[in-house]
Amino acid sequence: MKKIALILAILFIGTTVIRAEESNEGFEPGSVIIGHVTDAHSWHMFDYYDSEGNEHAVAIPLPVILINDGHLDVFSSAKFHHGHADYKGYRLVGGGASKEEIICVGADGEPLLDEAGKAVKPVDISITKTAAAIMIATVLLIVIVFAAKAGYKKRKNQAPKGIQSLVEMLVVFVRDSIVRPMIGEKHYERYLPYLLTLFFFIFFCNILGLIPFFPAGANITGNIAVTATLAIITFFITNISGNKHYWVDIFNTPGVPAWLKVFPLMPLVELVGVFTKPIVLMIRLFANMTAGHIVILGFVVIIFILSNLFGTAVGGAVSVVSVFFSVFISILECLVAYIQAFVFTMLTALYIGMAVSEPHHAEA
């Protein structure tokens, strides 16, 4: 089965290389890679070439929601025809190596400029590819959890079976190996629902990002806005839950020489640490997941580069090695998907545990 999958992958990539050479447009590796890991206003599926060699994109249009001068405009991204047409005074620009965004254009088709000479942009609250992928992931995750719940009702006092076994294993693992040790017996149940949601959401989004076809394939946790939102939620929960002991230790750190407290070096360092902790959470998850996707795509675009430089035969030969390494990195990414969900949840539990822990003398 693995051999068949490998052969099919080689044939697919080899065919893509030939089609790339037949295209009249030059191949841009950077544009292809960045375009796959960034957000977009449509869900790109694949490209194909007609008998005349013209390239056509197949994509799922997504809702465009714009606010401009107090007016709300809602329409489908298909109206832009993949950036080749204006609609209602708006134009879709960028994509690929540059950020995709919507600007305002005049009746003459020229972009409207502000006083600083920059293009005027509406307030864009569209349902982009990342937003749509989050909705899909959330719905699928809810279905899986409720399916496990239904399994408990049907199989009372029996061993778990099917999806129920996987969900139970992960729930017990998060509870007993992450939340309870990090937060403590007294407080862990209060934060268990949030930490379970955090772990399952990140893990599920990471796995979906590795499946290269709709409704998966979106780089959800490789979007800095998504990881920033998760980190901000952790930041507020941690600091709102912080007890008196937590804040006293920040501004009056025990075991520190008095002169460091008078000259507020350590309190400043501790206060900065309050804000750097969620930043570390945000960047670690974003960087690791994005890097994995870029490495896989890098191995694939090598085929196109060498094919354009030295011919299809060389590209086809290199595709064997590229596919092998792409499969290897994909398997490694499955492990990274779990590790990143584990690390994010563990550090969140650690921060919350530090905020709600009681002084040692009080426990004694």
> What does the alpha-carbon distance between residue 13 and residue 202 come to, in Å, rounded to a whole number?
30
Cis amide prior to 215 (ω within 30 degrees): yes
Q: Please state at what angle helix 188-210 crosses helix 224-241, rounded to 10 degrees.
A: 170
> What does the alpha-carbon distance between residue 340 and residue 199 come to, in Å, rounded to a whole number?
9
pLDDT single digits (tens) 187-219: 889 999 999 999 999 999 999 888 877 878 888
pLDDT single digits (tens) 40-66: 888 887 777 777 767 777 888 899 999
pLDDT single digits (tens) 236-252: 999 998 888 888 877 77
> What does the alpha-carbon distance between residue 98 and residue 110 come to, in Å, rounded to a whole number?
20
Q: Are 340 and 288 in contact (CB under 8 A)?
A: yes
Question: How do the domains of the chain map onto residue ranges?
Answer: 63-126, 131-363
The radius of gyration of the chain from alpha carbons, rounded to an integer in Å, stands at 25
**What is the pLDDT confidence band of residue 27, given thresholds at 50, 70 and 90?**
low
Listed range (1-15, 20-34, 106-120, 347-361) with the worst mean pLDDT: 1-15
Quickly list DSSP for 274-298. HHHHHHHHHHHHHHHHHHHHHHHHH
pLDDT single digits (tens) 261-287: 666 677 788 888 889 999 999 999 999
pLDDT single digits (tens) 295-331: 888 888 888 788 777 877 877 788 888 888 888 888 8
> What does the alpha-carbon distance between residue 265 and residue 261 come to, in Å, rounded to a whole number?
7
Mean pLDDT of 106-130: 87
Q: Please state at what angle helix 163-173 crosses helix 188-210, rounded to 10 degrees.
A: 130
**Helix intervals (H) in the chain:** 2-22, 29-37, 129-154, 163-173, 180-183, 188-210, 224-241, 244-251, 258-262, 265-310, 312-356, 360-363
**Confidence at residue 12, expressed as pLDDT on a 0 to 100 scale:** 43
Q: Which residues pair with 2 in a beta bridge?
A: none
> What does the alpha-carbon distance between residue 320 and residue 302 come to, in Å, rounded to a whole number?
11
> What does the alpha-carbon distance between residue 362 and residue 364 come to, in Å, rounded to a whole number?
5
pTM for this prediction: 0.83
> What does the alpha-carbon distance between residue 57 and residue 82 come to, in Å, rounded to a whole number?
8
**Confidence at residue 278, expressed as pLDDT on a 0 to 100 scale:** 92
Q: Are 141 and 204 in contact (CB under 8 A)?
A: yes
Non-local CB neighbours of 83 within 8 Å, separated by 6+ positions: 91, 92, 93, 95
pLDDT at 77 over 60: yes
The SS3 assignment for 2 reads helix
Hunting for tokens 């899909």 — which residue is that?
136
